[in-house]
Amino acid sequence: MTTSELDHLEATGTAQPKHQAERPRLRWTRVLLHLFLLAGAVVMALPFAWMVLSSFKPLEEIFIQPPKLLPKVWQPENYRNALEAADFVRGFVNSLYIAVIVVVVSVFTAAMAAYAFARIRFTGRGPLFMVFLATLMVPVQLTVIPLYLILGRLNWIDTHLALIVPASLFNAFGVFLLRQYVRGIPIELEEAAAIDGAGRARIFLTVILPLLRTPMVALGIFTFLGQWNSFFHPLIFLNSDSLFTLPLVVNQFKGTYSSDWTGLMAAATLAAAPLLIVFVIAQRQIVEGIALSGSKS
């Protein structure tokens, strides 16, 4: 088709723009993408749905073949039996106050470290930060023995301090997340505060912290979820039933030779309910936190 013919088609309005011809293909691509995401969501939600529905089943229906998702006989008294069989209230309180203390302290210390790595120039800052990040690649199981020895010297074994102090004072992921955001804050704000006579501490408290509210909320949610679900460290460091966190209370439904599966499903559902509530309320902050972890460099 010649140039004059193209000009004639455009003048008469019979020619279609190139992006209009590509619309059907883009629409089908979007439909396929949503179908793929929907299938992934169903696969991920199926175990949770199985757990919740199994908590209402009699014991004989859990092992029925072929397995059925919905119970034939609804048995809500499984929840009452679970609450009577274990001290859920004490486990809930222990997990809650440990998680809250760790969130408050670790978010603040991570913000201070992030500000130091992003703004304060000192010898070896870059290599030290790389070593700091390298700790993310060290498995937790590799550090548990030296950590146990240190806590034993401090007489913190079988105390909640063994769970609170190490988790509060060192959070490499939190430092990385907040440092990325601090580097995106205009330095002119700090210079203006310095001209007014503010020192490092005042600049951090009055200028930096208010601007870090969004990533700090996201980091606090991540930390809370991690502490609430923590099972490995409480299992190693706690021995007394009165100090057990909620995951250890749920684990009491598992025996050596037999397990109360209906009680276990009910207990796991009760333990997961607060996490589901937190996710529904704070899902926007969770998504923003994931985006912020790689948005600024």
Query: What is the secondary structure of 173-216 as a DSSP string?
Result: HHHHHHHHHHTTS-HHHHHHHHHTT--HHHHIIIIIHHHTHHHH
CATH number at residue 211: 1.10.3720.10
Same domain, 50 and 99: no
Contact 283, 167 (CB under 8 A): no
Same domain, 106 and 19: no
Contact 68, 130 (CB under 8 A): no
Query: Tell me: the pLDDT tens digits for 190-200?
Result: 889 888 888 88
Same domain, 43 and 169: no
Based on the structure, what is the number of domains in the chain?
A: 2
What is the structure's pLDDT at 296?
Answer: 45
Which amino acid, 260? D
Same domain, 142 and 266: yes
Same domain, 281 and 207: yes
Same domain, 25 and 117: no
Alpha-carbon distances of 112 from 108, 219, 249, 284, rounded to whole Å: 6, 14, 35, 25
Same domain, 42 and 111: no
Same domain, 205 and 276: yes
- Low pLDDT (below 50) residues in the chain: 6, 9, 15, 18-19, 21-22, 257, 295-297
Same domain, 227 and 271: yes
Structural domain including 34 reads 3-54
Residue 172, H or E segment = helix 172-182
Whether 62 maps to a domain, the answer reads no
What are the structure tokens assigned to 297, written together? 């460099």
Tell me whether the omega of the peptide bond preceding residue 24 falls within 30 degrees of 0, making it cis.
no
What is the structure's pLDDT at 165?
Answer: 92
pTM: 0.76
